[in-house]
Structure 1
Amino acid sequence: MTTSPKAPPPGLTVGGYALRARLGEGGMGVVHLGQKPGERPVAIKVLRPHIVGDDEARRRLAREVSSLSRVRSRRIAEIVDADPWGEIPFVATRYVPGLSLHDHVQEEGPLTGDDLVWFADCLGEALEAVHDVGVLHRDIKPSNVIMEGRTPILIDFGLARVADDSRITMTGWLLGTPGYLAPEILYGDDATAASDVHAWAATVAFAGTGRAPFGRGPSVAVMDRVRRGEHDLSGLDPAMLPLVEEALAPAAEDRPSLDEVRDWLEDLAGGRPPRPAAPMTQPMVTSMYDDLAAPTRIGTGVAPAAEDTVHWSDEWSSPLDDFYDDRLTQDGGDAGTEPHRQTRVLPDGTTEYVSSEYGPVRERVPAGERLRRALTLLAVGGVATAGITFAPYVALAAIFFTVWLLRSGSRAAASAGNRRSRRGIKWYDGIQLLLAAPWHVLAGLGGTLVLLLWSLGIGAAFALLCFAASVSITTSLAVIGAAFTIGLWWGPGSERLRSPVHRAVDPLARRGVAWLLVTLMVAAGASFLGAAASAQGPVWTPDDSAPLSDVRLPGWL
């Protein structure tokens, strides 16, 4: 599928959805970004005109909808609406903003280490959800995987089939992408679960190397290399190499089953030596006409047991990209919401995703990384507190302008993300953002003032307590600064402050040496300001004297 947006004719609607932008196209249809008034955007796949008149194509689409509407997984862009027999047949799925794996690797480079293992297991989880309802995807490839942050979302079921369906279209064309089709399909045999495992491995190999594992060139040459098993995995993470090599075996019976693939990945994630994968047994697939209440797991021949192993990717969710972090609605801005999810930052710095279908899904961050985040945030808070202690007026002015800048930037990013979700990426997005910047700066001023006054009120309350307790002026300012900083972090509308701060701190906490250097420098700055305040007392620039300096109580210095 291509990913370059192209606007459809103005005013064109399908099934009540206004088509905003062209997202891509495949063999059977074109995918548009669509939206009904007041509803979330969706990805709409419309059959090509020459297929609309083909009743067999419509029947295939109806069968896909019947089966795929039962797929429920957070790793899949599930079907939300469809009309196979309408004047213009279409299928609407959850819209997943973000780059395809192909584009993500081109921009960010290949995945390595834990990121690659996470990617491979999440993609395996998506494939397992498809297989569990008796369906084969048949077109797993980099352009059919969208990256939500570092988490893959499987899209485009245009070539998916109920397992006993024909492998060839009515015209005799082979469906699929040569470099990601299993050898048995190229030989003319029926696709099986092992075929999807082969495509999974080829996609993981691309994610880990940035190259198509069977190379490029004429389709005939690529298909010949696939049939011979002549792949190039040089540069792939050594921990993943044995699994991918086995899953790319030319003979289907030599490949591991999907359950064995996920078990292997679970061992890698847990730091254990991976268990050897047994050859894949003959797959048993549930047809869509079988009992839907008890689907058979492909590749095992038995129904899932109640005590199935919970895989590590089932237990935690990867952070979404900045697009979603910007689209928080609790600040009264014009931000949108992620389809099916909303996010909020929790007290410990982790993110909770609230899904209308799956319920709360909380990011499971390693304890060491959470500790590093907390230490960096404490160091930043220490700078604010020490600054208020040393130079109250100057520090408050600097904090005000910093908060104003961060909140205005957050509003601008949220507005840009909302526009992008409604009508896709446009060449003039950067210009529009620049022209709208003054409005966002002005609009962010009100919320900044409310948050600042809230925090000053908390600081004033602690100032009275210190005054009543006859605490020294330096110590009082330190207490007031700490209370003010906490109020600023948790006050009304502070989500737009915390979000950009976390966006800078969280990635830093994953880089040990860089995190240590930056945190030590920030902590050193806080220590310097604190030491200066203790040595010479507070500096009241631009005023000449401290407020209420003529008031004296016993015990004040």
Structure 2
Amino acid sequence: MNARPTELTQIGPYRIRRQIGEGGMGVVYLGTAPDGRPVAVKTLRPWLVGGTDGRRRFEREVSTLVRVRGSRVAEVLDADVAADPPYVVTRYVDGVPLTRMVAEHEPLSGADLQQVAVGLLEALASVHAAGVVHRDVKPGNVLVTADGPVLIDFGIAHAADDTRLTATGFISGTPGYLAPETVIGQDPTPATDVHGWAATVTYAATGRPPYGYGPDIAVLDRIRRGEHDLHGVEPGLAAVLGAALQVDPARRPGVDTALRMLAGPDAADTTDMPPVGAAAPLVDPSLATTDETAVVTPADLRDAATATAFPPAPSSAPTPSPRPAPAPPQPPAPAPHRDPGVWRSRTALALAGLVLALVAAWAPYAGAVVALGVLLLGRVTWRIRRRLFERRELRGQHRGDPFVAALALPWDLLASVAPCVGQVLVAAAGAVAVGGLLGLGDVGGLRTPYLVGGVVGALLVWWGPGTVRSRHGLTAVFAPMDRAPRTAWAVLGVLALAVCGVILTWESLGTVWWPADGPPGFAEGWFS
């Protein structure tokens, strides 16, 4: 069969409905089994079908998948390695990728985050019970369903007793979520998946990978040094994730231990693990300057890593006790890091909302224009962030990303106008209805209908129907303030002055209906 993936209508006994994804070695389709149930059919990419290595990898995948069973994993149902193209059929999981859920909405917290963290550990328990190491646990391989997360795509899963088939000098996996031992070419173990679990949960909790962004070689260097970033994670969960992200696999908790840690009333107090601190680098820092490529050669790094990160156990033979030398002066311990939280950005958003409400109360038509601008800013920002996220998921971060965003800006603005205008109309209708009712009932003073109507309009701009994308975009615009205190105080000061200025102007001039002479004709009797 030489058909292109988009032309496939039948693979074995399975009718193909559409393509639903693709990975480094295969294309995934939604298919229908002979009994009518939906299934996921994965084939090798067409240009790999004729290669021996691709088929060997596929055979390994099948031999791995048939050994894994559990409700938290996509179980294998059928396979035919000898077919053309070879394929494997798994249970179809109707869920949303964790990457898309976080990108389109916001990082998880509370019970939702707990469900993902515990569910993925349950998935790893099923995987490891079959003697398998998944090796590529990452947000893109997690589907979130109504019943919780499901771990999918064992495309590079590695049975613990199999021989590695990865080409010499290359690492199978996704930079940013690789474990330190994988970076230096050591064989994966269940602890490797625990590290991937912690990296994935960190992304779910913060919206960013634990080792940041940048060129692959820079990310890999941070990984092998253990330079992860858990800022923004709740302290109890951060303690568990920090233990699971340790550079030395022997220091990471097992799956069962991690589950017990998460089940306790306070994850930080339910573990016998060593204290979580700055992990030692796997290699000497001076070796970082010799890296020239993101493809790490195991032969070049294994000796250095073994010597620096995992020293051999001391010999049991007695040795003479050397005369104790005076202890060198210890450097002062660094001050504990305090997570700044999100209060600055949220305070700024609240003040901006108050400014919008006051402007709408003082000059309703001008307030509608300001509301439209706010919604456009948020929605365009959301579109840009989503485009860059999808681009980086496929290609990594590149210098040309801002240029691509700038080129698409006119289209993003044009595509955002219609929905934002509709949202402004909804907010205006709510403001006029509530304010008008107060005016007709002579509730409060002369300015009460305007003020209440402005507050209602501002709330609908933020929480009204269809505003979720603008809301997430605006949150992203203000988020950098949480890491830049001076800028945050400057912005908060400007917004506070704006609040005072609008109040004083309203007090001096009264309500202004410019550019019209008064309220809409149907509402003339509502406002006085």
Q: TM-score range by the shorter chain?
A: 0.5 to 0.7
**Aligned runs of 1:464-503 on 2, under 5 Å?**
464-470=436-442, 472-503=445-476
Assess if the C-alpha contact under 8 Å between 1:247 and 1:256 holds in 2: no
Instruction: Kindly report the root-mean-square deviation, in angstroms, between the aligned alpha carbons of the 2 structures.
Output: 6.3
Q: Secondary structure at the match of 1:132?
A: helix
2:132 counterpart of 1:131? no
Deviations 1:440-486 (A, max 9, x none): 65554443343333333322223433433445443332122122223
What amino acid is the match of 2:133?
Answer: R
What is the identity, as a one-letter code, of the residue corresponding to 2:26? V
Distance change >3 Å, CA 423–CA 259, structure 1 → 2: closer
Q: CA separation of 1:382/1:121 partners in 2, compared to 1, >3 Å: closer, same or farther?
A: closer
Determine the C-alpha separation between the residues in 1 that align with 2:226 and 2:404: 44
Q: CA distance change for structure 1 residues 515 and 202 in 2, over 3 Å: closer, same or farther? A: same
What 5-or-longer segments of structure 1 have no aligned partner? 1-7, 25-29, 100-113, 217-230, 278-367
Count of aligned positions: 397
- For the structure 1 residues 513 and 167, does the alpha-carbon distance in structure 2 shift closer, same or farther, using more than 3 Å as the test? same
Tell me if the contact between 1:20 and 1:423 (Cα under 8 Å) persists in the aligned partners.
no
Q: What is the rounded CA distance, in whole Å, between the counterparts of 1:276 and 1:519 in structure 2?
A: 42
Q: Name which of 158, 161, 168 aligns with 2:163.
A: 168
426 and 435 in structure 1: CA distance in 2 versus 1, 3 angstrom threshold? same
Within 1, Cα distance between the matches of 2:397 and 2:196? Answer: 32
* SS of equivalent to 2:424: helix
State the match for 1:64 in structure 2. Answer: 64
Query: Are the aligned partners of 2:135 and 2:156 in contact in 1 as well (CA < 8 Å)?
Result: no
- C-alpha distance in 2, partners of 1:40/1:526? 57
| Closer/same/farther in 2, CA of residues 372 and 81 from structure 1, 3 Å limit | farther
Q: Tell whether the 8 Å contact from 1:45 to 1:90 is kept in structure 2 after alignment.
A: yes
Contact 1:137 1:159 in 2 (8 A): no
Do residues 145 (structure 1) and 118 (structure 2) align?
Answer: no
Change (3 A) 1:372 1:160: same
Residues 107-126 of structure 1, C-alpha deviation per residue, up to 9 Å, x if partnerless? xxxxxxx99xx999978963
Q: Which has the higher helix share?
A: 2
CA distance in 1, matches of 2:494, 2:502: 13
Q: CA deviation at 1:129?
A: 1.8
Q: What is the DSSP-based 3-state SS (H/G/I as helix, E as strand, rest coil) of the residue aligned with 1:83?
A: strand
CA contact (8 A) 2:261 2:267 kept: no
Judge conservation of contact 1:489–1:498 (CA < 8 Å) in 2. Answer: yes
How far did residue 382 of structure 1 move?
0.9
1:429-440 equivalent positions in 2, closer than 5 A:
none
Change (3 A) 1:430 1:527: closer
Structure 2 CA distance, aligned partners of 1:128 and 1:468?
Answer: 60
Question: Deviations for 1:416-445, whole angstroms, at most 9, x for unmatched residues?
Answer: 599979999999999997777656655544
In the alignment, what sits opposite 1:285? none
Stretch moving more, 261-270 or 384-393: 261-270
Q: How does 1:246-257 map to 2 (within 5 A)?
A: 248-249=249-250, 257=254
Q: C-alpha separation between the residues in 1 aligned to 2:476 and 2:66? A: 41
* In structure 2, distance between residues paired with 1:424 and 1:212: 14
Tell me how far apart the structure 2 counterparts of residues 53 and 148 of structure 1 sit (CA, whole Å). Answer: 21
1:82-231 paired onto structure 2 within 5 Å: 83-85=79-81, 86-91=83-88, 96=97, 126=120, 128-132=122-126, 134-138=129-133, 140=135, 145-146=138-139, 156-158=153-155, 160=157, 166-168=161-163, 180=181, 195-197=189-191, 200=194
Seq. identity, %:
18
- Say if 1:22 and 1:32, in contact at 8 Å, map to a contact too: yes
Pick one of 255, 271, 281 that aligns with 1:258: 255
Q: 1:276 to 1:87 in 2, by over 3 A?
A: same
Deviation of 1:383 (Å)? 0.8
The change in CA–CA distance for 1:259 and 1:176 in structure 2 (over 3 A counts) is farther
In the superposition, relative to structure 1, how do residues 535 and 20 fare at CA in structure 2: closer, same or farther (>3 Å)?
same
Q: Deviations over 1:222-278 (max 9, x none)?
A: xxxxxxxxx9757568977877669534xxxx985432355467789744384147x
Contact 1:403 1:448 in 2 (8 A): yes
CA contact (8 A) 1:167 1:175 kept: no
**Contact 1:389–1:530 (8 Å) recurs in 2:** no
Which residue in the other structure is 2:428 paired with? 456
Partners of 2:384 and 2:167 in 1: CA distance: 51
**From 479, 503, 521, the counterpart of 1:530:** 503
Q: Is the 8 A contact 1:406 1:496 kept in 2?
A: yes
Q: Answer yes or no: is the 8 Å Cα contact 2:341–2:482 preserved in 1.
A: yes
What secondary structure does 1:538 align onto?
Answer: coil
What SS class does the counterpart of residue 135 from structure 2 fall into? coil
Q: Which residue of 2 aligns with 1:361?
A: none
For residue 162 of structure 2, what is the amino acid of its counterpart? R
Residue identity opposite 1:448 in structure 2: C
Question: Which residue number in structure 2 is paired with residue 389 of structure 1?
Answer: 361
3-state DSSP of counterpart to 1:67: coil
Contact 2:378 2:469 in 1 (8 A): yes
Does the C-alpha gap of structure 1 residues 18 and 448 become closer, same or farther in structure 2, counting only changes over 3 Å?
Answer: closer
In 1, Cα distance between equivalents of 2:411 and 2:228: 48
Q: Distance in 1 between matches of 2:458 and 2:229?
A: 44
Quote the Cα distance in structure 1 between the aligned partners of 2:169 and 2:433.
74
Deviations 1:351-388 (A, max 9, x none): xxxxxxxxxxxxxxxxx979877654432221111112
Q: Aligned partner of 1:64: which letter? A: T
The letter of the residue matching 1:500 is G
TM-score, normalised with respect to structure 2: 0.52
TM-score, length-normalised on structure 1?
Answer: 0.50
Q: How does 1:365-404 map to 2 (within 5 A)?
A: 375-404=347-376
